[in-house]
Amino acid sequence: MRIRLCFAVLSLVGGAGLATLSAPTATAAACTDIDVVAARGTFEPGTLGFIVGDPVYSALQKKVTGKTFSSYAVNYPADLSPTSAAQGNADLVNHVNRQAASCPNQRFVLVGYSQGANVVDNSIGISSAGAVVGSPIVATLPATVEPKVKAVLLFGNPIRAIGKSVTGTYQSRTIDFCAAGDPVCENGGGDVGAHLGYTANADAAAAFAAGRV
């Protein structure tokens, strides 16, 4: 598993092609209290993402009691195609809009790892164009939905390598992890392995979100 992921990261950074893994089946969430919407990284396996999404969701459920949870895996290729992040951007916004309309009391936690962070960035109005596997914004969460997004959890965020970060409305609700030497989020970083270690931050990210939901 780790060897495959290492090759995926090397491909992401260097641009070489790899066969993609199938995207997980995505279904609309029920009217739970909290919907965790996760965009996995490039070629990342797992329901919400083996490295980030799955462990964050598990940790958050343990930290927040008395509330019901659902999860949604953003349905997008998560590959190196030029429209991959844009497809994820559109799907995330469509899902949250649909849920907000159907479940007025539902609140959201957005999770993005690697290319998935680009997806989340775009969806909250921060363009990932020019970043590794980034894209221009194709859809953003509307102002009516914005207060329902209680936390934004980002890991290995590619826009950081081009000097950008989440600013504005969502800044105070965002935690953005970039491991030292991670070449995806740190300009000049050379430690590919650092990009694969964000499971270690799952508990801290869940604690951040738990304090806001």
Residues with a catalytic annotation lie at 114, 182, 195
CA distances from 36 to 53, 130, 149, 184 (A): 9, 27, 10, 24
Residue 185: count of CB within 10 angstroms of its CB? 26
Angle at 73 between CA 165 and CA 27, to 5 degrees: 140
Report yes or no: 73 and 47 within 8 Å, Cβ to Cβ: yes
Angle at 191 between CA 187 and CA 195, to 5 degrees: 85
